[in-house]
Amino acid sequence: MPSVTGMTVDRSLAAPGGPGLAGAPRRGGLAALFVLVLALLTVAASITPAAAARRAGGTVSVQFENKSDRDLTGFAINVPEGCLIPFAPATIAAGTTATWTVGPCQSAYGTRGTIDYTVQGENGATTRIGWDVPFTGPNSYTESAPTGYVIGHTGGTDPQTPVHWTFDCNSKTCDGIPDAWKLNGVTLDPGDGSAAKFIDLPAMGADVNRPDVFVQLDWMAGTAHSHAIDPAAIKKVVDAFKNAPYNKRGQTGTGINLHIDAGPNSIMNFATNTTWGTLSRAKQLTETTNLGTKVNGLYQWDAFTALKNATGGFRSTARGPIFHYAISAHNLESGSRSSGISAGTPGSDLIVSLGSFTNSVGTVDEQAGTLMHELGHNLGLRHSGNSDIPNHEPQYFSVMNYSYQFGLTVGTTKGLLDYSRQNLSLNETALDERVYPPTNPLYDVSHFCPGIDGTVGKFVTIQSSKAAVDWNCDGRISDTEVGVDVNGDGSQTALAGHDDWNALVLRGGAVGHSGADSAGVPAPTLENEATPEDEAMDLPVDVTPPVTTARTSAHPHKDGGHQGEGGHKGEVRVVLTATDDLSGVAMTEYNLDSRGWQTYTGPIVVTGEGKHRLLYRSVDHAQNQETDKYLVLRVDRNSEWHQEPTAEH
C-alpha cells in the first residue's frame, strides 16, 4: 500500500501553535492538490499489510470526520517518524469521514507528524491534526481549527482503539455565529480604542435552530433626496430569505433569518412590526455624489473604508464578526452608473448605488433587487451562479442574473425576489421550443430577441402560462430543435445552471471570522454591475396581443381595363398591417378558404369566382396571439368583386 515514511513532506507549514498564523505561505487549488499528491506518491515507501501487522506497536488507526459544510483539501504533511498507510486522502468532502493508519514503518521510535487541510472558501485558513505514537509511553494528539470552526478527538489510546477527530462549524447552522452568542449575546472589542460593546443577539431575533444573516445598512442623504432604502424593499428581501428552500444540518424548517438594521425606526421583526429602536447602530451619512474612485477599471474601497472606520462608525459597533456592512449611496466613482458593488465573493462589505436610476434613488423593486443582488455576492454568488459569465441566462432564475435583478415575474405579478432554486441547464445549439423550463415556482422566462424596434435586440419575457418558448422569435413554436443565442452574448453555447440557495456561503469577509478583518481596506474590485442601460434592455411584461388591420383594393386587369373602384373582374388584393404596443410583431399569418395557415409576406391576391373567407392574425415576441379575424370576399367573373359585412378588420 502507498505510504509516507520517515520523511518530511512539507509544502506550507505554519509556525508551531497552529495553522493559518501570520507569515505562513499559502498554496491552494489544483496546484496544492498536485503538489501534495505528487509528494505523497514520489517519496512514499511501500509497506505491506503483513509488515504493518508485525509492527503493531506504535500504530493507530485514524478516523477524520468532517461534519462541517466545507470541503477540506490536503495542504501540507510533515511525518518525521513513521508513515501513513495508505496516504491521507487529498480531499475530505463535507459530511464524510476519511480513514487511514499511522505506523512506525522503518522508524525505531514509532510515528509522529502533522497534517494540514485547507478549509475551502476560507481564504487559505487551515485545520491541523498531529499525533505522537511511540513504541513506549502514552500516545498523544493535537489539533487546531480556524475561527468559525471547532475540532476535537477521542480514542487513540492503543492500537485497537482508533483516534477519531471531528471537525465542525462552531454553530449548529454553520452561519459563523457561535450558538453561545445567539443564546446569551456577546461582548466584543471593536479594536479601534473605543470601549467593548455588548451585542444583544437574542433581542435581535437570533435563533440557534435557524441560520441568521445580519446586515447594518447605513444610508446617505442630502437636501435633494435620501438614499434610505424603502421599508417595502427591505421586507421583500427579508421575505425572500424567509421563504427560501435553504435547509442545512437539521435546522428547524427551511429558510434563513435575515436581519437588516436600517436605522432605529426600521422594522426588526416584520411579523410584529417591532422596530430596531435602541438596538440599532445604523445611521444617516452625509451625501456625496461619488463614493470612491476607479483605477484601471477597479473600484477602490478607500472612501468606503474611511466611513466604516470613522469614530462612531461601523467598526466602533464591534459588529464586524456578525454583521455585513452596507452603505446605500448615490453613485460609485465619477461617471459610474452601476447599481452597486460587493467587496468580495464571499465577503462582508457592499454598496447600493442607485443615483443613476429612477428619481436618483431607485424604485422599490430596483432597491430590493439590488440589495439582494449585492448581498448575494457577499454570500458567494456571481452573475451566473459560480461565475460572472455568461450573463442573462434565461433558465437561471436568480436576482444575480441581470435579466432578473430587478424582479422576477409570474404572470402579471412583478418584482418577485429569489436566488436560483435548482441547477437547470440550457443548450443554445439544440433548443426544444415545446418544452418550458421546468422550475418550481414556475417563473416567467426572459430571453433575447434580436432586432426589436429596429435595435440590436431586447430581452422579452414569456409568461409561464404559455407553456412553450419561441426561442428563435419567429412567432411559431417549432416541432424541431432550433439553435439560438438566447442570452444575447453573440454565441451559441451550453448554458450551465446553478443552485444558488444550496451553494450560499454564510461566512465570508469578516463575518464568522476575526473582528480585525473588518478594519482593513478591501481589495480593488472589478466594477461590472447592472446599469440603467442594462435594465432598459429588459422589456416589461407584455400581455397585450398585436392588432392587425386588413385593407382591400382592386387588382389591375391584364388588358388595362378596370372594374368598379379601380378594380377588375375576378381578382382582389388584401394588404395586412400589424402593430404591437410593446414587444413587437413577430409574425402575421392568414388562412384563405381553409387551405391552412401561411406566413404573411406581402399582399394576398384572391381570385376565382364565388365567396372567399380570409382568416388572419398576428403574434408578438411575447407570444401573445391575436384572436382570429376574417374577411368574406365575393368575386364575380362578369362583375366587380364585393366584400360582405364581417367582423372588424
DSSP 17-46: T-TT-TT-----HHHHHHHHHHHHHHSPPP
Residue 228 has pLDDT above 70, yes or no: yes
Q: What are phi and psi of 65, to 5 degrees?
A: -100, 120
Grid cell at residue 329: 449611496
Residue 647 has pLDDT above 60, yes or no: no
Residue 355 has pLDDT above 70, yes or no: yes
Task: Please give the pLDDT value at position 496.
Answer: 94
pLDDT tens digit sequence for 164-183:
999 999 999 999 999 999 99
**Residues linked to residue 549 through DSSP beta bridges, in sequence order:** 577
pLDDT tens digit sequence for 328-337:
999 999 999 9
For residue 642, name the pLDDT band (cuts at 50, 70, 90): low
> What average pLDDT does the segment 607-629 reach?
96
Grid cell at residue 502: 444550496
> Picking from 85-94, 486-495, 588-597, which range would have the lowest pLDDT averaged per residue?
85-94
For residue 45, name the pLDDT band (cuts at 50, 70, 90): very low
For residue 635, name the pLDDT band (cuts at 50, 70, 90): confident
Residue 554 has pLDDT above 80, yes or no: no
For residue 16, name the pLDDT band (cuts at 50, 70, 90): very low
pLDDT tens digit sequence for 359-392:
999 999 999 999 999 999 999 999 999 999 999 9
What does the alpha-carbon distance between residue 312 and residue 318 come to, in Å, rounded to a whole number?
A: 10
pLDDT tens digit sequence for 529-539:
999 999 999 99
Phi-psi region of 18 (alpha: psi -120 to 50; beta: other; left: phi over 0): left
Residue 409: closest CA among 459, 360, 362: 459
Alpha helices in 403-544 (DSSP H): 500-503, 532-536
Q: Identify which has the larger pLDDT, 30 or 396.
A: 396
> What average pLDDT does the segment 200-225 reach?
97
What does the alpha-carbon distance between residue 424 and residue 498 come to, in Å, rounded to a whole number?
A: 7
Question: Which long-range contacts does 32-36 make (Cβ < 8 Å, 24+ apart)?
Answer: 32/73, 32/74, 32/75, 32/118, 33/73, 33/74, 33/90, 33/91, 35/11, 36/9, 36/11, 36/74, 36/75, 36/76, 36/77, 36/90
CA angle 126, 127, 133 (to 5 degrees): 135
Q: What are phi and psi of 571, to 5 degrees?
A: -145, 150
For residue 644, name the pLDDT band (cuts at 50, 70, 90): low
Cβ contacts of 252 within 8 Å, gap of 6 or more = 207, 209, 210
What does the alpha-carbon distance between residue 446 and residue 403 come to, in Å, rounded to a whole number?
A: 7
Average pLDDT score over the chain: 88
Task: Please give the pLDDT value at position 474.
Answer: 96
Task: Please give the pLDDT value at position 411.
Answer: 86
User: Percent of the chain having pLDDT more than 90?
Assistant: 77
> What average pLDDT does the segment 483-492 reach?
96
Cα 607–chain centre separation? 60
For residue 29, name the pLDDT band (cuts at 50, 70, 90): very low
pLDDT tens digit sequence for 73-113:
988 999 999 999 888 899 999 999 999 999 999 999 999 99
Query: Could you tell me the end-to-end alpha-carbon distance of the chain, in angstroms, rounded to an integer?
Result: 85
Task: Please give the pLDDT value at position 4.
Answer: 42
Alpha helices in 506-598 (DSSP H): 532-536
Residue 138 burial by CB count (10 A; 0-12/13-18/19+): exposed, middle or buried? exposed
pLDDT tens digit sequence for 126-146:
999 999 999 999 999 999 999
Which of the residue ranges 41-50, 233-242, 409-418 has the most confident prediction, judged by mean pLDDT?
A: 233-242
pTM of the model: 0.85
Residue 449 burial by CB count (10 A; 0-12/13-18/19+): exposed, middle or buried? buried
Number of other residues whose CB lies within 10 A of the CB of residue 377? 24
- Output DSSP code: residue 510: T
Q: What is the number of alpha carbons within 13 Å of residue 376 lying toward its C-beta?
A: 34
Task: Please give the pLDDT value at position 412.
Answer: 82
Helices 231-242 and 364-378 cross at an angle (nearest 10°) of 50
Residue 53 has pLDDT above 50, yes or no: no
What does the alpha-carbon distance between residue 88 and residue 114 come to, in Å, rounded to a whole number?
A: 11
Return the HEC string of 470-490: CCCCCCCCCCCCECCCCCCCC
Task: Please give the pLDDT value at position 38.
Answer: 33
Q: Identify which has the larger pLDDT, 19 or 206.
A: 206
Grid cell at residue 14: 505554519
